Amino acid sequence: MTFPVLPLAATADDAAAFAVTGKTLVPFSAVKPEKYLLARFPSSVTVSVDASNDAVSADEAIALLNVGISQIFVDFDRFAALVAAGVPPARLAVESSAPEVLQSKAALVVKEPLDKDTLKSFSNSGNREVFYRGAVDQNSAQTLAAQGYTLVLPTSQLTVAPEDPAQISISSVFVATLTTDRPDGLYTTLVTTPAPSYTALGVVYSSQASIKAAIAEGQGVYQSRKRPDELWYKGKTSGATQKLVKLEKDCDNDVVKFVVEPRSGYGFCHLETNYTCFQDGELRESADSSGVGLAKLDATLAQRKANAPEGSYTKRLFNDDKLLVAKMKEELDELIEAGEKKDKNEVAWEAADLFYFAMTWAVKHGVSLAEIERNLDIKSMKVTRRKGDAKPQYVDEPAAKKRRTETEEEVPSYKMNIVKASEASSEEITQALTRPNQKTSDIMKLVLPIVENVQKNGDKALVELTAKFDGVELKEPVLKAPFPAELMDISADMKEAIDLSMSNIEKFHKAQLPKEEVMTVETAPGVYCSRFAKPIENVGLYVPGGTAVLPSTAMMLGTPAKVAGCKNIILASPPSRATGKLTPEVVYVAHKLGASAIVMAGGAQAVTALAYGTESVVKCDKILGPGNQFVTAAKMHVQNDTQALCSIDMPAGPSEVLVIADEHADADFVASDLLSQAEHGVDSQVILLGVGLSDAKLASFEEAVARQAEVLPRKEIVAKCLAHSTTLLVETYEEAFRLSNQYAPEHLILQIENPESFVPGQIENAGSVFVGGLSPESCGDYSSGTNHTLPTYGYARQYSGVNTATFQKFITSQNVTEEGLKSIGKAVMTLAAVEGLEAHRNAVQVRMDKLGLH
């Protein structure tokens, strides 16, 4: 708490605005000695109370100190009364220089500056804090702080900005107190995390400018030593940003301490495996948590609460109160028995078990270790103590019998969560429609080295990475057309299915072509504006593979590219780990498309090759296609890299479906549609909006889901997906469509009475709509003709699915005649003049002058 300003805050919100100081002073009239008083304030802030003008009683003061108030400001009369009542003088700040005060450990309050020797004497050579409560401006505040005073100032007079003529900048006051003997004028800076880990992340350097920027922007900002004229905004390029919690300095005023909260999933060190700069290796296996002991357990449990797989032991603990309570009681009994046996090692072991389950109980209820430690600190600050006897029901009771909970093998549950909209809060409904978390920051850290490798090493990197990730040794990474017949060896039935599907897809996408080659509009007399479409020349189509066979993706991407007239269609798909060859169905589709090549690679490496090109891969202008998180991260990266000059189709996430069903829906149809998406992966999500369902109808849906899921080959994946999926019960179709539009599903299936009457009027956001019980999503995936490459994760609010226009660019042209120049010339010159673009104005003026148009 070495910040030289103590903000006087009228409210907890005012205190939070200046939490960087690590402390606050609030009026006695604004607080009551409530048990959870400090919970209103940021956990990093120490709270004192100003009772200097109040006749606070001993009971009131002690009550405040007992609930965690650090210090109370009082006058001399109150000081004497409170000390007599047993209040420790160190918990008081007094406006008096009486001998009784100076001989105690109380802090002092002055309203006028003291001379140097008196200040040194009153402060006991720096061992006693001296508060200054007189009037100040910016210059005098800095001078007084540099002399060693802590300035008590109302928050209304303060600002976090580097300078403000109307307010006092706390950052300027802070830096005024610092000293340095370094030739470059920088300050050695220790960076740590806050409670509960208090981890030292590393040592950096600060300047006055970087400290002011950090306070103003509330983030970790330091001084770059490589570029002395630049500030180092931590994480600006890497994403490893830091929230500034508070700022401190050491007793000699030459070392600064930043207390920061690193962004989740990131460390401080430039080496990705280290959380700190001290070679800890904490991030080698996972970026979910770091540190040691209880702090690491706290972080780990918080991650598992959000992401633990359904059916896992940890998820059971969070979901099953009875089980978790039983485990806490069991471990307490075992800890007691270990103590009775005088077994030191067993006591440590059983205490660790008890801490684990107790922390699980706390995290389950939204309580962090930092909050627990703060309450421990509050208890340690109590002035009065309880007698400490146990409650009668716990006295002389024998240890309970062992409470063992067997961890039987889990039977998969195919139950979806059920929420009744009429009984749920808006927050609960929003939570029900929230998709599973995507940890893009963790993925991107793994993807970037792959991107850099392929950029640098080209084909060589593709061959090496295919061997590493797909287990296939290749001589060349690209298969060029014409493709060998033996690589397209598929059954007649399969050929017929592909041919039929591609024909339907081609029909639907040809219908999307512009009706005229050039669309022209005369916008004003003699002004002709035109628009025409041209195909994107080189397109890269990513087709997932390896363990899956996905010719449908090749069809859905390649057919509209062919219809649009793209000159160079390149596929990318990893070879099968089992055969070492490309999926023959994909090669056959590539042949029918007239593709020029297939890149035999997957993941981020394939995307990079398509975006930047290699010795044998032509650089593409646009990349399209679904994939895992690595593929998505790589696509997002290359889209934002100006060196790549490559666009993508859309952001992608896990597959999803939303089914709206009413009392007329067939339960087997509904169940089959939900399960067709649930089997995609554990991060997929399915939502059922039930309109006016009876209990019997809902039960029939649940029975059909369980019955059909049990016989699926991927039933474990289905169970995990259904665990974070929801049945949301509503009363009206209007409410159902409102929630559907809010969710913006990839696939929307309408199994309701007269579904055609709701399309398109009620549909605002959806990737593709399947109308009626006989229109399963599977038809759109393969053969109906619509495209199955659709926006997921809510992006249907702003993106369309892949279509013919996806593979086109639209160019405009204008032809202005003499009549046209006369029509719009004056308007053009007027607008150019007001924007200060004289050359723009003149380009029209010279033409009008030559034509005599005035």
Residues acting as catalytic residues: 746-747
Residues 6+ apart with CB under 8 A from 201: 191, 192, 193, 260, 262, 267, 268, 269, 275, 276, 277
Rounded to whole angstroms, how far apart are CA atoms 753 and 397? 64
**Residue 258: helix, strand or coil by DSSP?**
strand
Phi and psi, residue 158, nearest 5°: -110, 160
Contact 686, 746 (CB under 8 A): no
Name the nearest CA neighbour of 192 among 257, 136, 137.
Answer: 257
Contact 741, 764 (CB under 8 A): yes
Contact 110, 132 (CB under 8 A): yes
Torsion of the alpha carbons at 816, 820, 825 and 828, rounded to the nearest 10:
-60
Rounded to whole angstroms, how far apart are CA atoms 523 and 819? 12
**Is 564 buried (19+), middle (13-18) or exposed (0-12) by CB count in 10 A?**
buried
Residue 383 is classified by DSSP as S
* Alpha-carbon distances, residue 13 vs 70, 104, 156, 278, 442 (angstroms): 19, 34, 12, 37, 34
**DSSP, residue by residue, 129-165:** -EEE-S---HHHHHHHHHHTPEEEEEGGGEESSS--T
Amino acid found at 368 = S
- Helical pair 715-723 and 695-710, crossing angle rounded to 10 deg: 150
Phi and psi, residue 317, nearest 5°: -60, -45
The 622-624 sheet, strands edge to edge: 478-480, 597-599, 568-572, 538-542, 622-624, 647-648
Peptide bond between residue 651 and the one before it cis (omega within 30 degrees of 0)? no
Contact 737, 698 (CB under 8 A): no
**Residue 653: helix, strand or coil by DSSP?**
coil
**DSSP, residue by residue, 599-627:** E---HHHHHHHHHH--SSSPPPSEEE---
Rounded to whole angstroms, how far apart are CA atoms 232 and 244? 14
Rounded to whole angstroms, how far apart are CA atoms 429 and 391? 42
Rounded to whole angstroms, how far apart are CA atoms 670 and 688? 9
User: Residue 107: beta bridge partners?
Assistant: 93
* Alpha-carbon distances, residue 10 vs 5, 50, 72, 154, 322 (angstroms): 16, 11, 15, 8, 44
